[in-house]
Structures are given as C-alpha cells and as structure tokens.
C-alpha cells in the first residue's frame, strides 16, 4: 500500500426529515447565501424546507446555477457575497450546485484573478468561506469531497480544482429528496459513481486489501440496484442505498493508499466542454474503450474485476477480460446510457479537436502510470466512435 494522509471533515446528516436539523450546524449569527440550480429544488419543496429550517436567520438566495456550472454565473454570486458581506454558503442541489458553491467559497477572498483557481487546479487556494450542502442528486460525491469542476462558457473550457479548504462542513442526505429526479439523472448518477469507483480500483495491484474489497462492494451494489433504483422511483431503501454508495465512491476512502487513474474523466470533461453531453454519459462512452486499449497495463486488475465483480471464472484470461468489459458496457446500456460517440452524432472529424483540447490543458500524461499520452487518448476515442 502507498503512503497516504486521509482527512475528511464533512459531517453527514443522513435520512428522512433531516433538513429540519440544518440550523444546528450553521453558526447562529452567520450571514448565509443559499445557492441553488434551476427550478427543481423549488418545485419539490426542498427550498421550502430549508427556508423553514432557517426562519429567523439572515439568508439571501442565489438561483440559476447551471448543470456544468459556469464561471460567469458563479462570479455573480461572488459579487453578492462580497457586497452583502455574507459569510456562510449553503448549496441546495446536485453536483453542479455544490461544485459551484465550492468555487464561490474559494473565490470570494481570493487574492488574484479567481480563474487562477482552476488553471492551477487549486494549489493557490489558501482560504475559503465555510459552507454546507443539501444534496438532491446522488452522483458526484461532491457532498463529501474537496473537488470541484467549473466550466468557462466563453472559452468552452471545463477544469477542476481540489483543495482541503473546500470540504463541506456538513451535508444533509435525505433520500426522499431524490424521488423527483428524472430517470435520466438517476441513471447518470449510477454510471458516474460506478466510474468513480473504477478509476480508483482498476489500475494495478497495490496490496490494498480492504480498499479493493470495499471498491468491489460498491461496484457489486451498483450492479445489483442499478436498473431498479431508476424505475422504482419512491423506493426509499433503494434510494438510500444508492445515495450512500455514491457518496462513498468519491469521498477519498477507497482511494487512500492506492494508485488512481482518472484518464476517463479527463477525456470525458473535454467531450462535455465541446459537445454539452452529460458528464456521466461521456464516461460510459470512454471507459470501455479505455479498458480495451490499456488491457495489458491493467491485466491483473481486469482479471480480479472479472472474477470478483462479474463472477467470471471460465475461459482464457483474454476471454474473461473481454467478458468483463462487455458486461460493463451492457450495464451502462441497461441504464439506457449509450456507449458509443456515434449515439451523439460525434464522428471521426471530432477527434483532432478533442486531442487539441487535452493538449492545451496539459492532459498529455494521464493514468495511474502517466502513460496515457495524447496518442493513447486518440486511440481510445477512435475505438469509442
Ligand atoms: O437545475 P435544477 O433545476 O436543480 O435541475 C437539476 C439538473 O438539471 C436536476 N436535479 C437535481 N436534483 C433534482 C433534480 N431534478 C429533480 N429532482 C431533484 N431532486 O438534475 C440536473 C443535473 O444536476 P447536476 O447537479 O448538474 O448533476 P450532477 O450531480 O450529475 O453533477 C454534474 C457536475 O458535477 C461534476 C460534473 O463534471 C458536472 O459538472 N463532477 C463533480 C465531481 C466532484 N465534485 O467530485 C466529480 C465528478 O466526476 C464530476 O466531474
Ligand atoms: Zn464523475
């Protein structure tokens, strides 16, 4: 196992009717900005519950944070926080609202141009406002991690940052708040959390016994509940399990002390930035080809994945590996998520542009061994057409 530091200060408040408790977790004299997305949180009553729980407190509101939150919109929130001297943020929504709130938290008192936070991937973040979250979409793990991904619409760039200063101080996870999710978003959440687990697990053996078993438990649970959690909209137990799985898939625990890949995510972000395809859907397109192209480097873990997650024990090594990759594709397809670029009418002429974007963003040596060069990324995209 590799050396590691494991740190996670986020308090989780999980279960039905837990929004009522948020006031206990926000300092009494805090001047709060509640941030949210489009209309979903208003329509399903989540915002109403938050307003009720914070009655009597100083609360202002900022709505309109988009999916793939933009720098341009978030800078408007930064201005409000500065002007109104607000000092606590509360994100109500999915990964986009939470990521956006992390950016606002770090940008408000940032000493130079806030876009630097993204171009330096967070290394220059020395402070951030405290914030909490009310999660409405299980998918990204943003509710218990220190990552954020922001899009600049002007330049069609999608960049991430990480900083220990942007862990939420608390996150409320009420599974009933997911009942109103469109089926497409639930499917996206299943696929995203599946790929988060894969990116930290399917690398090379690192003698990390419990991280492997834990990752396999998350993957098997997702396979077990995947299609059901989508169709059984108001099944509390399924939604509760799914919500906790998605959080655990990217809260740092399974990634501690093990090599991590993330090449699929980095290529996926470029696809979203150029073609506006949902984050999770880009991953379902890239991952199967990524695994096939990098089969030799990942051979030992692919065999372990085949045996322990998919119970594949017969046939040659290559047959078991191919069966595991096709099962992965089949799993995404069972969620009605396509696994080819052609499903989005993206053809071979798109590849040069995507590779150029990876190059501009320094994504030239990706993966657990930094051996995913632009040439390898090109082959992955070609195989995903
Ligand atoms: O905007 P509203 O009206 O709220 O609607 C949202 C949005 O249209 C809707 N929604 C959310 N909760 C709902 C609901 N609709 C009905 N009922 C509810 N309870 O769902 C739509 C998608 O929301 P969004 O927040 O964009 O989705 P997601 O949580 O998948 O977040 C995606 C963003 O997170 C980033 C992605 O790149 C993308 O920008 N990621 C963040 C990560 C992190 N912070 O660790 C890691 C991930 O790999 C990912 O990159
Ligand atoms: Zn993701």
Per-residue pLDDT tens, the chain, 385 aa: give them.
999 999 999 999 999 999 999 999 999 999 999 999 999 999 999 999 999 999 999 999 999 999 999 999 999 999 999 999 999 999 999 999 999 999 999 999 998 999 999 999 999 999 999 999 999 999 999 999 999 999 999 999 999 999 999 999 999 999 999 999 999 999 999 999 999 999 999 999 999 999 999 999 999 999 999 999 999 999 999 999 999 999 999 999 999 999 999 999 999 999 999 999 999 999 999 999 999 999 999 999 999 999 999 999 999 999 999 999 999 999 999 999 999 999 999 999 999 999 999 999 999 999 999 999 999 999 999 999 9
- Burial profile 61-83: b = 16 or more Cβ within 10 angstroms, e = fewer: ebbebbbbbbbebbeebbebbee
Asked whether 65 lines ligand 1 (CB < 6 A), one says no
β-strand partners of 33: 60, 89
Please report the pLDDT score of residue 362 as a whole number.
95
Half-sphere exposure (CA, 13 Å, Cβ side) for 260?
A: 18
Residue 42 is predicted with a pLDDT of 97
Ligand 1 contact, 67 CB (< 6 A)? yes
Cα 140 to averaged position of ligand 2 atoms, centre (Å)? 6
Residue whose CA lies nearest to ligand 1 atom number 8: 67
Q: Residue 149: nearest ligand to its CA?
A: 1
Query: Which residue's C-alpha comes closest to atom 31 of ligand 1?
Result: 95
Q: Are 34 and 62 in contact (CB under 8 A)?
A: yes
| 8-state DSSP, 366 | B
- Interval between CA 36 and ligand 1 midpoint (Å): 11
In a mutational test of the pocket of ligand 1, which residue from 103, 146, 185 has the highest number of ligand atoms less than 8 Å from its CB? 185
**Rg (alpha carbons) of the chain, rounded to whole number:** 20
> Residue 231 has what pLDDT?
92
CA of 141, nearest ligand number: 1
Ligand 1 in reach of 248 Cβ (< 6 A): no
Output the DSSP codes for 126-189: -----EEEEE-S-SS-GGGSSEEEEEETTTTEEEEEE-GGGS-SEEEE-GGGGTT--HHHHHHH
Alpha-helical (H) ranges within the chain are: 40-43, 46-53, 71-84, 95-107, 116-119, 183-201, 209-231, 236-249, 263-275, 279-293, 299-310, 317-334, 351-360, 374-383
Residue 18 Cβ contacting ligand 1 at under 6 Å: no
Structure tokens at 16: 């039905």
Ligand 1 pocket member 180 (CB < 6 A)? yes
Per the listing, tokens 């990204």 go with 140
Ligand 1 atom closest to Cα of residue 189: 30
Ligand 1 centroid from CA 306, angstroms: 30
Compute, in angstroms, the gap from residue 359 CA to the centroid of ligand 1.
27
Does 147 contact ligand 1 (Cβ within 6 A)?
A: yes
Numbered ranges of CATH 1.20.1090.10 in the chain: 183-383
Q: Is 39 in the pocket of ligand 1 (CB under 6 A)?
A: yes
Distance of alpha carbon 270 from the chain centroid: 15
Return the residue whose CA atom lies nearest to atom 26 of ligand 1: 67
Residues ≥6 apart with Cβ < 8 Å to 74: 65, 100, 103, 104, 107, 150
The closest alpha carbon to 120, from 101, 107, 109, belongs to 107
Does domain 183-383 bear CATH number 1.10.3210.10?
no
At CA 149, angle to CA 143 and CA 153, rounded to 5? 135
Assign domain 11-178 to a CATH class: alpha beta
137 touches ligand 1 (CB under 6 Å): yes
User: Nearest bound ligand to CA 250?
Assistant: 1
105-123 CB burial, b ≥16 within 10 A, e <16? bbbbebeeebbbbbeeebe
- Name, in order, each residue with C-beta under 8 angstroms of 370's C-beta and a sequence gap of 6 or more: none
Q: Where in the chain is the domain with CATH 3.40.50.1970?
A: 11-178
Q: How far apart are CA 220 and CA 214, in angstroms?
A: 10
Going by alpha carbons, the residue nearest to atom 28 of ligand 1 is 95
Count Cα neighbours of 385 within 13 Å in the Cβ-side half-sphere.
10
């Amino acid at each position: 196992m590799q050396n590691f530091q494991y740190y996670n200060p986020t308090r989780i408040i999980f279960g039905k009717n837990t929004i009522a408790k948020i006031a206990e977790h926000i300092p009494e004299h805090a001047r709060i900005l509640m941030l949210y997305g489009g209309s979903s949180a208003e329509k399903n009553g989540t915002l109403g519950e938050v307003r009720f729980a914070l009655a009597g407190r100083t609360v202002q509101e900022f709505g309109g944070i988009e999916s793939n939150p933009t720098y341009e919109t978030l800078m408007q929130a930064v201005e409000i926080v500065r002007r109104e001297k607000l000092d606590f943020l509360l994100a109500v929504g999915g990964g986009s609202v939470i990521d956006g709130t992390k950016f606002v938290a770090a940008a408000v008192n940032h000493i130079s141009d806030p876009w630097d936070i993204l171009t330096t991937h967070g290394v220059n973040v020395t402070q951030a406002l405290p914030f909490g979250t009310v999660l409405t979409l299980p998918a990204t793990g943003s509710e218990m991690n220190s990552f954020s991904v922001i899009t600049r619409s002007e330049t069609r760039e999608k960049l991430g940052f990480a900083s220990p200063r942007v862990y939420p101080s608390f996150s409320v996870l009420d599974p009933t708040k997911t009942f109103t999710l469109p089926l497409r978003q639930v499917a996206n959440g299943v696929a995203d959390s599946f790929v988060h687990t894969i990116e930290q697990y399917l690398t090379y053996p690192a003698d990390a016994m419990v991280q492997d078993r834990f990752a396999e438990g998350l993957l098997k649970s997702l396979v077990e509940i995947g299609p059901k959690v989508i169709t059984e909209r108001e099944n509390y137990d399924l939604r509760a399990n799914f919500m906790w799985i998605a959080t655990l898939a990217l809260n740092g625990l399974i990634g501690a002390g093990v090599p991590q890949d993330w090449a699929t995510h980095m290529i996926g972000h470029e696809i979203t930035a150029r073609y506006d395809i949902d984050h999770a859907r880009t991953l379902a397109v890239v991952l199967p080809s990524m695994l096939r192209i990098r089969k030799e480097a990942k051979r030992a873990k692919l065999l372990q994945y085949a045996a322990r997650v998919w119970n594949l024990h017969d046939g040659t090594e290559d047959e078991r590996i191919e069966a595991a990759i096709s099962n992965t594709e089949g799993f995404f397809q069972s969620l009605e998520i396509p696994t080819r670029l052609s499903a989005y009418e993206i053809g071979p002429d798109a590849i040069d542009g995507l590779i150029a974007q990876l190059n501009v963003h320094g994504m030239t040596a990706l993966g657990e061994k930094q051996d995913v060069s632009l040439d390898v990324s090109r082959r992955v995209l070609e195989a995903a057409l």
